[in-house]
Amino acid sequence: MLKSAMADSAWVSSSTADFGADSTAPRHTFLVRATHWITALCFLALLVTGFEIVLSHPRFYWGETGHSLTPPLFRIPVPASRRLVPTGYDYVLPDQNRWSRALHFESAWAAILTGLVYAAWGWMSGHFRRNLVPGDLTKLRFHRPGEADARSYNPLQRLTYLLVVFVLFPLVIWTGLAMSPAFVSAVPATVELLGGQQSARTIHFFVSLALLGFLIVHVTMVSLAGFRSRMRAMITGRI
């Protein structure tokens, strides 16, 4: 979904899993390229706005409630953008919470819809079955990707992408919805299963960090495999 489309920038898409049999075929289909760049822009917006939202209250709790007078589970040692939040600093940052929340929600829904399109295509085309289900697990390893790796996924990549597509991305959506009063009022089990809205916020924060970590590793692998050629393939579809 959100990250699987990005992963295809470094590695072959399902439509080109058998690329070696047809060297004239595009490396990435238009759908893969479109969903990749849409999700990349959405994720960038989510990172920036999410950081700004955290600055409005850089304290995290567990359970249903949590506020400035409640002992936090942990806190991020940064100044807040709201004066009533105790941070240990004698100044506050400019409050940009209003626009950041609006853009965060809009970007999230755009990413979800794009992910659903990618997931539907991946399921119907057999991409998940062919390219994400790991084969020989004895070959789990880190190494600089070569030409052979550019045509397929190795077992470590497959496991990582499965984790992102079917665990981290659904979990970040779930925890995000659990913080929405309107959605929770319609589906109370969304937050009840997580132990409360503050628990959902804390889990959402850590899952977001995990996705950021995946993005950093992904960009690193793209650079090691040949940044210019991989970017050209994701823009034009060809090497």
Contact 158, 134 (CB under 8 A): yes
Say what the pLDDT of residue 63 is.
Answer: 94
- Model pTM? 0.80
Confidence label for 20 from pLDDT (cuts 50, 70 and 90): very low
Query: Which pLDDT tens digit goes with each residue over 33-80?
Result: 888 899 989 999 999 999 999 999 999 999 999 998 899 999 999 999
Give me the domains of the chain, ranges plus CATH numbers. Answer: 4-236 (1.20.950.20)
Say what the pLDDT of residue 48 is.
Answer: 94
Location of structure tokens 């295509």:
121
Tokens describing residue 57? 């209250």
**Does 149 have pLDDT greater than 60?**
no
Cα separation, 166 vs 170, in Å, equals 6
**Does 211 have pLDDT greater than 70?**
yes
Cα separation, 116 vs 155, in Å, equals 24
Cα separation, 125 vs 188, in Å, equals 35
Average confidence (pLDDT) over 230-234: 76
**Does 129 have pLDDT greater than 50?**
yes
